[in-house]
Each structure stands twice: as structure tokens, then as C-alpha cells.
Amino acid sequence: MLAEVIKESVTTIGPYAMPTANQLYDEAAALRDKGDKVAAIAKLDEAVALDPAFAIGHGMLAKLCADVAEVDKAIHHAKRVVELEPDDAFSYTALSVIYQRCGKIPEAEQAKAIAWNKQMGFE
């Protein structure tokens, strides 16, 4: 617990404070809401570089990259969410949607089937 307090204070105190992954995510969401998807992607790249296990950051990156036709990057980040959240049916649903939007229909159908099996309790 003390280590968490120290880590938080190091990242938020002082003129040269490093933002946390959550802070970068919030900045990315604001940029996305203003219509600047490219800048939002750059912020999220910083967030996941800072915390490679930041699943929500990878999820937003997958969606935004698909929006700007960065197909390989979109799929990479959607797969990363599945790696980080393997028991979450929605992670597979999101992966399916990304595959579909990127024109990879067989892969989309496979991810959808996994999502359905997880949701139904078969996996």
C-alpha cells in the first residue's frame, strides 16, 4: 500500500510530473471527443507504453485505429485486450467487430463464436 502511495505521488507531484496511464487515457478521450483521432491515438500509445497491461487503453486504440484505417494496429490492440482479459466475453466481441471492420470476416466469425461460448458458459 505504501508503495502505491509513493508511486502515485511521484507521478503527480512537481513541475515535471509524469502522467499516469489513466490520465493519458482521459486526455485521449477528450481529444477523440473533439474529433482529433490521430492525436488521441498518440496519447493512447503513450499510455500503453507506460502500462502495457492497460486493457482499456488497448481497447480504445483498437477502435480508433480501425476508424482511421490502421488495420494492423487495430487488430494488434484488439488481440492485446483479449490477452489481458481472456475470460471476458466482451473482449472477444470487440475483437470480432474490429476484425469485421477490417474486412477479416472468417476471423470475425471465429472471435464471435468464442465470445458466444464464453457468454453461454461453455468455455
pLDDT of residue 13: 54
DSSP class per residue in 29-74: HHHHHTT-HHHHHHHHHHHHHH-TT-HHHHHHHHHHHHHTT-HHHH
What pLDDT was estimated at residue 1? 43
Tell me the pLDDT of the chain (123 aa) as tens digits: 434 433 444 455 556 788 999 999 999 999 999 999 999 999 999 999 999 999 999 999 999 999 999 999 999 999 999 999 999 999 999 999 999 999 999 999 999 999 999 999 987
Q: What is the pLDDT of residue 17?
A: 81
Q: Would you state the pLDDT for residue 5? A: 38
Domain spanning 2-10+18-120: CATH 1.25.40.10: yes
Domain residues of the chain, as ranges? 2-10+18-120
Residue with C-alpha cell 481472456?
A: 86
**What pLDDT is stored for residue 3 in this prediction?**
42
